[in-house]
Amino acid sequence: MNRKLIILFGFIISIVFAFSCQPNKKTEEKEKYDSVMKRKLANYVKVQLSADLSNLTANQIKLFSQLIRVSNEIDEIYWLQAYGDKNQLLNKITDPDMREYAMINYGPWDRLDGFAPFTDDFPPRPLGIGFFPDDITQEEFFSLKNDNKYSAYTTLTRTENGLLKVLPYHIAYQSHINNAVSALQSAAELCETKDFKEYLLQRAEDLLSDNFEKSDHLWMNLKTNPIDFIAGPISNTEDHFIWTKYSYGAFILLRNIQWTKDVEKYSLLLPYLQKSLPVSDEYKNETPSESAEIVIYDVLYNSGYCNAGNKLIGLNLPIGNSITTSAKKLHFKNVMQAKFEQILQPITNLVIEEKQRKHVSFKSFFLNTIFYEISDGLGISQTINGKGSVKEALKEHYNVINEVKNDVLRMFFLGQLTDMGQIDDVELMDNYVTYMADVFRSIRFGVKDSQGVANMIRFYYFEENEAFKYNPKSGTYKVNFYKMKKAIESLSKLVLEIEGNGDYETANQLIKTKGFIHNELLQDLYRIQRAKVPKDLVYDQGEKVIISSN
């Protein structure tokens, strides 16, 4: 072969080889894209919630199936509220990991990251999301002459000529509401108690009118039904446009009789706890409801808002209750247990001093949690100096300050009841160290909401008051019992006086100086993330729960 041809051939081969070794840009982008979604999915651990279903009758198992039908219709409504057309979104997502993550988040916006879009392929989340047209403006909304626009149970759409139109929920979601009502009526026929049947039938009627007062009243009086059910408006936190519209969710619950019996005494102590607040008498004249009921449940199934992103471990219902009205304080024991085992225990082994890890227990985590909800119904709702309600006086800072109040008062109350001998199976030190470990579980969700900011305020307040000490060599924290108790009391006093005085300036200063994550703390959070500790749960749920438990 001609020498020139040989050289030319070798040159061509070398170029082809060089290009073949070049990383494919599209492949690189896809691998990077896939790894991002896998990391996001790793923030959730899948669990099958356990519950003792051995006492359920054949009829109650059939009832459970009908309630799942209702819950699934509520889920479809929530998709419309939280995103829009679910199928349109899922059909255009080809990556299975992203599809799964979209199902967890009910849309392409990450609930663990302040609703940031998964990738640049998706736009920022609209403030009004599914409740309002994406292009609506504040000026357009307030100029609309229709008072129903402010209703918690209406959605706004556009007519063919582009004008705003207000639709009640039962009209906007008519087909899903009708399906839910039909399933509720079928479920009612399977009830073995008259009061639960009456409640389900009334709930079906209320879904058709968007007026839940009658069924809420019936639900409040339910005492003996083993299976409980909640379906309808749960929270107004999804609407970021006027913060009014309520999202729909559903819970199918199993009443945990023994754990409810163990804590029922605390609801009788609410008046005493209100009077024990660490402030002068003028700040504690309000009277809490004496009928507030603490009920412990195991979750069997959830949908809609109740299933989106971070899973609820407790809430107060019915919605819209004030400090002076009755409510049930619901707590989900099996969800708490799963979060404790899958998340809090691994975090404890990373950030709590080895000798103090024995103080982190499920029972202390359980008590810390239920007393958060108890604290939510105690304290101050009206200022003492004529500034009106605390909410009006503190304006945009109200939610953060109230979160701090709930968070710290729970520990103050636990100290009070321990001193009274009302809590004898858990040491107060257990509550304190568990509380410290739980800081790291909570702040991993960031500071993009009021609860996140409140977490940081209490953390840095306790640090300033030497309630804990950090060991930089081991990267662990050690609680000082006496200084923690003192710091809890002084922070409780501070936030109660801020609320009672309607002290906007002090609230602003507290948030400004302490309501963010310092770099030193970020290193601990990175360490927890590198250890692949999940942030939250995703449920493996459905009728399989009944089957696997039998």
Q: Could you give the 3-state DSSP secondary structure of residue 123?
A: coil
CA–CA gap between residue 53 and residue 306 (Å, rounded): 22
Under the banding of pLDDT at 50, 70 and 90, the label for residue 20 is: low
Count the alpha carbons within 13 Å of 142 in the hemisphere toward its beta carbon. 5
Average pLDDT over residues 162-171: 97
- The amino acid at residue 400 is V
Is 70 exceeded by the pLDDT of residue 514? yes
**Tokens (6 digits) for 4:** 């020139």
Is 50 exceeded by the pLDDT of residue 410? yes
Strands (DSSP E) found in 2-161: 44-47, 109-110, 116-117, 154-158
Under the banding of pLDDT at 50, 70 and 90, the label for residue 448 is: confident
The reported pLDDT for the residue numbered 5 is: 52
Q: Could you give the 3-state DSSP secondary structure of residue 532?
A: coil
DSSP single-letter state for residue 343:
I
CA–CA gap between residue 155 and residue 133 (Å, rounded): 9
Is 70 exceeded by the pLDDT of residue 12? no
- Among residues 419, 427, 451, 455, the alpha carbon closest in space to that of 273 is found at 419
Report CA-CA distances (Å) from 336 to 3, 345, 444, 539.
78, 12, 17, 13
**Tokens (6 digits) for 316:** 């107060």
- Among residues 454, 235, 273, the alpha carbon closest in space to that of 371 is found at 273
- Among residues 304, 266, 272, the alpha carbon closest in space to that of 287 is found at 272
Sign for the pseudo-dihedral over CA of 428, 403, 74, 126: negative
Sign for the pseudo-dihedral over CA of 215, 219, 221, 225: positive
For the stretch 334-388, pLDDT in tens is: 999 999 999 999 999 999 999 999 999 999 999 999 999 889 889 999 999 999 9
CA–CA gap between residue 547 and residue 268 (Å, rounded): 38
Is 50 exceeded by the pLDDT of residue 321? no
The reported pLDDT for the residue numbered 416 is: 94
The reported pLDDT for the residue numbered 267 is: 82
Under the banding of pLDDT at 50, 70 and 90, the label for residue 14 is: low
Asked whether 321 and 329 are in contact (CB, 8 A), the reply is: no
- Among residues 203, 228, 287, the alpha carbon closest in space to that of 63 is found at 228
Is 70 exceeded by the pLDDT of residue 320? no
For the stretch 74-96, pLDDT in tens is: 999 999 999 999 999 999 999 99
CA–CA gap between residue 41 and residue 35 (Å, rounded): 10
- The amino acid at residue 9 is F
**Tokens (6 digits) for 8:** 């030319």
DSSP single-letter state for residue 548:
H
Average pLDDT over residues 187-211: 97
Q: Return all residues near 443 (Cβ < 8 A) that are at least 6 apart.
A: 452, 455, 456, 459, 517, 521, 525
The reported pLDDT for the residue numbered 543 is: 73
Range name among 38-47, 131-140, 287-296 with the lowest pLDDT average: 287-296
The reported pLDDT for the residue numbered 322 is: 40
Mean pLDDT for all residues in the chain: 90
Under the banding of pLDDT at 50, 70 and 90, the label for residue 324 is: very low
**312 forms bridges with which residues in the sheet?**
none
For the stretch 499-512, pLDDT in tens is: 999 999 999 999 99
Relative to beta strand 536-539, strand 44-47 is parallel
Kindly list the strands in the beta sheet with 227-235, ordered across the sheet, starting from the edge strand earlier in the chain: 227-235, 247-255, 293-304, 328-332, 314-317
